[in-house]
Homo-oligomer: A and B are copies of this chain.
Amino acid sequence: MASGISLKELAAELKLAPSTVSRALNDSYEISEQTKKKVLSMAEKLNYHPNPFARSLRENKSKAIAVIIPERINTFFAQVIDGIEEITQEHGYHLLVYCTHEDVEKEKKIVNLLLNGRADAIVMSVSSQTSDISHLHKLYERGFPILFFDRICSEIPTTKFITNDYQVTLEATRHLIQQGCKRPAFLMLSEDISITKERHRGFLAALKEAGISHNPEFSKVCCQNEETNIEILKNLLIQENRPDGILASVEKLALACYQAVKKTDLKIPTDLKIISFSNMGIAGLLNPSLTTISQPAFSMGEECARILIKKLTKTNQPALANEVVVIPSKITIRASTMVE
């Protein structure tokens, strides 16, 4: 439907060669100011828009960046994308956004689709179940610029953005213990996600420090189905030796906890204290308000984008550095972890 006028037609109208017009539009030093002005005004008048695909084909770049996330209905990811868009838009890049719904097969399909060059780079947070990473290796081997954030893939040597998960979880768990928790529980999403591992390490370190032995049954691997999660949690909470503090590594699980608690006689924070990783603006409006660890999502997106733009716009840039950039998260204490 790109029904507009072409460069050739514009040139004919101006009685100039297409090459000259092209150079004038691209502000080449070879063209006189007078010609440039004439070309520009005529282009404006005739509503000329260069065909992006001809340009992409010729220059072998798409001017598009693919963003792959596990879910859209999640404030964190939405904020990251906002941050990416903020920076990339200034440089004329477009965002192709794909959602895996935590499904590795879908992730593979998307990644394979992008092998054809439709995007110049990929920014992604891997699907929670990702274990087979051959599709990511393929990208890397081809020299395709790829950058991870939050849910990173350690095996691929490229730039990764994460938060200070170990440290902040250590502090969060200390907070639970200070508030009187004797049997804190950690809820994680999936074992093969490195970021969750760090969070779990921080949790264990805090327990060790306080001389609390860890009940491995309290570290729950959860599934995608919300109902099932609530059921698992409810069963955990009604047993005699139930946890009295919960650290959720994902917002979804904290909310499932709230739901599960409703099905028991327990009260938050009296019987159970909860803290969760979450970027929801309304954590403070929950009942009771939720103590959160929020990640610097927007600036993380911006940083990803800046590095990418540098790589994509400057010539002879080396491959993306194999480094892990750590940005600190922030703990906001609210009612769900208050001592009565």
Q: Which residues of A contact B (CB under 8 A)?
A: 1-4, 47, 49-54, 56-57, 60-62, 64, 72-73, 75, 78-79, 81-82, 85, 94-99, 113, 115-118, 120-121, 142-145, 255, 258-259, 280-282, 285-289
Instruction: Quote the shortest CB–CB distance from A338 to chain B (angstroms).
Output: 14
Is the Cβ of B53 less than 8 Å from the Cβ of A57?
Answer: yes
B62, A73: Cβ atoms closer than 8 Å:
no
**Given A99-B85, A281-B73, residue A53 in contact with residue B50 (CB < 8 A):** no
Judge whether B286 and A282 touch: CB under 8 Å.
yes
B51 engages A143 (CB within 8 Å): no
CA distance A280 to B282 in the complex (A): 11
Known contacts A2-B60, A2-B116, A73-B78; 10 additional CB pairs below 8 A are A1-B117, A1-B120, A1-B144, A3-B142, A47-B115, A53-B57, A72-B79, A73-B79, A95-B96, A280-B282
26 pairs, CB–CB < 8 Å, chain A vs chain B: A1-B120, A1-B142, A1-B143, A2-B116, A2-B117, A3-B117, A3-B142, A4-B117, A47-B115, A50-B116, A51-B57, A51-B116, A52-B118, A54-B57, A57-B57, A72-B81, A73-B75, A73-B82, A78-B78, A95-B98, A255-B285, A280-B282, A282-B282, A282-B286, A287-B287, A287-B288
Per assembly, the copies of the chain total 2
Report the 6 A-B pairs with minimum CB-CB distance, sorted nearest first.
A2-B117, A287-B287, A49-B116, A53-B56, A72-B78, A53-B57
B residues less than 8 Å from A85 (CB atoms): 98-99
Q: How far is the CB of A120 from chain B (nearest CB, A)?
A: 6
Whether the pair B60, A1 counts as a contact (CB closer than 8 A) is yes
Per the bound structure, the CA–CA distance linking A61 and B53 in Å amounts to 9
Complex-state Cα separation, A288 to B75, whole angstroms: 22
Residues on the B chain within 8 Å of A282, using CB: 255, 280, 282, 286
B52 touches A117 (CB 8 A): yes
Say whether A118 contacts B94, CB under 8 Å. yes
Min CB gap A88→B, angstroms: 11
